[in-house]
Amino acid sequence: MSTPSVPLRVALANGSFEQPGVTNYEILPDSSQTQAPKRVPGWRTTASDHMIELWHTGFNGVPSAEGLQFAELNANEVATLYQDLPTTPGTKLYWRLYHRGRQGQDTMALDIGAPGSAVEQRKFTDGNTAWGYYTGTYTVPAGQNLTRFAFRSVSAAGGNRSIGNFLDGVFFGTAPLVVLTKSAIPAGPLEVGDVITYRITARNEGGGAADALVLTDGIPAGTTYLPGSLRVLTGPNSGPKTDRGGDDQASYDAATDSVVFRLGDGATATQGGSLLNTETVPAGTTVEYRVTIDRSAGGTRLVNTATAQYENRLGPTAEHLTARSNEEVTEVRPAADLAVVKAADATTVSVGQTVTYRVTVRNTGPNAATGTVVADALPDGLAFLSAEPSTGAYDPVTGRWTVGGLAANAVATLALRAKATRAGSVTNTATATANERDPDPSNNADSVTVCVERARLCCDPCSPAR
């Protein structure tokens, strides 16, 4: 299945200024300076020297708001820090950030829009005792395929051009968008009794993290969950999971006949975790479980769709979202359970007497049987006299009773007459087969033993008379 059409993902690079790592603080080239061996990825500056200042948490007593590093907007001069991102007109984008003063009250502005004509969205003024946290949204206007997200220094306490406006934990981009793809292995068509492995991949094709991610998949009708088969193959917390619930991030719910996977970083036995976008986690996370095809599914199509619930936490309140996978369809070949019963009108006869066998073959379904054949060759000691099948024909040379088609719950019978030609114990077996798989081959055959006496002498235990 191909990924459905979605808005172009928007997500800042290096939003928390964690790269490159610094000790105390460093003033480094921006991302435009490709010749520099150590530069700040993602970010550019309007400063004439193209330099950006990064601090490590705790330097000069200032802790980071997120991660281990943050930026100072005023490096060697007053400037604007920005990223230009491809965007889809009409897309709703979310932004959030932390801002803090250095020597007192510092002010910066957030500008968003087309490069060269970005519009001020908001000003932020904060002191140097705590980080201020801010969020907002922006809808890309018509015709704007490239959007600048910029922080502009307005003023800083102390008046020093190289001091002021700390910045951290920046996000600007699209909401999370979980895309589920599901496959069945093997693809089919399959037989009753076969095992199917269902594999589901969750990828976050959006910008922000998909939080509280929980994937649920109902066991398809006509199948039975195979205990102990839960796996998280890739992504956070990969490995086998339990199927009893309560002690791991995956469980089987017998009440709803479904499997539940709580996925992502920080997932627990009771709640889903966080799945970052495919820019960071390209493969997403993949899970699997197995089922056995039940007898009732013979000749049907198994249809299954997985669902994921997750949250967009970029705004002031969590937005609850749902993703659904493609519909996975598996064809199951017809199955026919043939049951054979064989009896004789007498279990003790004399040489020269006639034995009449009655063979019954019943198709207990679930589907019609085609090409039904009952092999019932007479053994040595019995000579064929006649056969009366209720349907089809009996060949005394091969001992094959060609029944043909046999509907579900239908019965066919064969009366087979033979003459006893020698004394001894004679065992005769009838075995039924058809083109379809038999879900219970244990009842496909039945045998009858007849004791043949000589001149009415007792055969004990059914051995030739002396």
Rounded Cα–Cα distance for residues 339 and 409 (Å): 10
Q: What is the pLDDT of residue 3?
A: 42
* pLDDT per position as a tens digit, 136-190: 999 999 999 999 999 999 999 988 888 999 999 999 999 999 999 999 999 989 9
Query: Using omega within 30 degrees of 0 as the cis cutoff, is the peptide bond preceding 189 cis?
Result: yes
Q: How does DSSP classify residue 11?
A: B
* pLDDT per position as a tens digit, 104-128: 999 999 999 999 999 999 999 999 9
Number of Cβ atoms within 10 Å of the Cβ of 319 = 12
Percent of the chain at pLDDT > 70 equals: 94
* pLDDT per position as a tens digit, 387-401: 999 999 999 999 999
Q: Report the length, in residues, of the chain.
A: 466
Q: What is the pLDDT of residue 410?
A: 97
Around 283, how many Cα atoms within 13 Å sit in the side-chain half-sphere?
9
Judged on CB neighbours under 10 Å (0-12, 13-18, 19+), 307 is: middle
Q: Mean pLDDT, the chain, as a whole number?
A: 92
**Does residue 457 surpass a pLDDT of 70?**
no
Return the H-helix or E-strand segment holding 330: strand 328-331
Q: What is the pLDDT of residue 369?
A: 97
Q: What is the pLDDT of residue 316?
A: 84
Rounded Cα–Cα distance for residues 226 and 243 (Å): 9
Q: What is the pLDDT of residue 241?
A: 61
Structural domains of the chain in order of their starting residue, each with its CATH number:
25-173 (2.60.120.260), 178-331 (2.60.40.740), 336-453 (2.60.40.1530)
* pLDDT per position as a tens digit, 315-362: 888 999 999 999 999 999 999 999 999 999 999 999 999 999 999 999
Dihedral angle of Cα 249, 250, 251, 257, to the nearest 10 degrees: 140
CB proximity list for 5: less than 8 A, separation 6 or greater: none
Number of Cβ atoms within 10 Å of the Cβ of 71 = 22
Kindly indicate the confidence band of residue 408, based on its pLDDT and cuts at 50, 70 and 90: very high
CA dihedral (35, 36, 42, 44) positive or negative: negative
Q: What is the pLDDT of residue 9?
A: 85
* pLDDT per position as a tens digit, 231-285: 999 988 776 665 544 447 899 999 999 999 999 999 998 999 999 999 889 999 9
